[in-house]
C-alpha cells in the first residue's frame, strides 16, 4: 500500500464536487491533484485597494460583489513566459458535511473553465489531516 501523499504526487486526479463557501452558497468545483498552488475561485473585475490589503471582485457564479482581506499573493505561470500575480483570500467552507476554516483561494478569471472553483493538492492535504478521515475518491478514464 502506498501513502496518500505518494499517490497524489504521482497521479493527477480530477474530481467534480459541490462545496459551500460562506456568503456565496453552493458552487461546483473541480478537484485537481496536479494543482500544487492555492485553490482558485472565479472572480471578475478584480480591484485591489486599501494599500494592497483588500480585494473586491464579482463572483460571477452568483453575480455578487465580494470584498475580502488579502492573506497572501501568488505568482502563477500561465504559459508563454507570462506570469500573473493573484490575490489570495480565505473562506470558511463546508465540504461533505464538514466545516473547514480559513481555506485559501486565489482569485482569477475562470470563465474558460468548467467550474468556478479549482481545488488543489493543498486542499486534499487539509482533508487528509482533518478529524474526518472519510474521503471519497472516484476516478474516471
CATH number for the segment(s) 14-129: 2.40.70.10
Q: 67-83: per-residue pLDDT in tens?
A: 999 999 999 877 788 88
Q: What is the pTM of this model?
A: 0.78
In the chain, domain spans: 14-129
Q: How far is CA 88 from CA 8, 14, 83, in A?
A: 24, 22, 15
DSSP 66-131: EEEE--EEEEEEEETTEEEEEEEEEEEEEETTEEEEEEEEEEE--TTSSSSEEE-HHHHHHHHHSS
Q: CB neighbours of 100 closer than 8 A, spacing ≥ 6?
A: 92, 93, 94, 126, 130
Q: 45-70: per-residue pLDDT in tens?
A: 999 999 999 999 998 777 899 999 99
Amino acid at each position: 500500500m502506498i501513502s496518500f501523499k505518494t499517490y497524489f504526487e504521482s497521479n493527477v486526479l480530477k474530481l467534480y464536487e459541490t462545496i459551500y463557501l460562506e456568503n456565496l452558497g453552493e458552487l461546483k468545483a473541480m478537484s485537481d491533484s496536479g494543482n500544487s498552488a492555492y485553490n482558485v475561485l472565479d472572480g471578475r473585475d478584480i480591484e485591489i485597494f486599501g494599500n494592497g490589503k483588500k480585494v473586491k471582485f464579482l463572483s460571477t457564479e452568483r453575480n455578487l460583489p465580494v470584498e475580502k482581506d488579502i492573506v497572501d499573493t501568488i505568482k502563477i505561470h500561465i504559459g508563454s513566459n507570462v506570469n500573473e500575480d493573484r490575490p489570495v483570500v480565505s473562506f470558511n467552507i463546508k465540504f461533505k458535511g464538514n466545516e473547514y476554516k480559513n481555506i485559501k483561494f486565489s482569485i482569477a478569471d475562470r470563465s474558460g473553465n468548467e467550474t468556478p472553483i479549482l481545488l488543489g493538492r493543498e486542499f486534499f492535504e487539509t482533508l487528509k489531516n482533518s478529524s474526518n478521515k472519510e474521503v471519497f475518491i472516484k476516478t474516471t478514464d
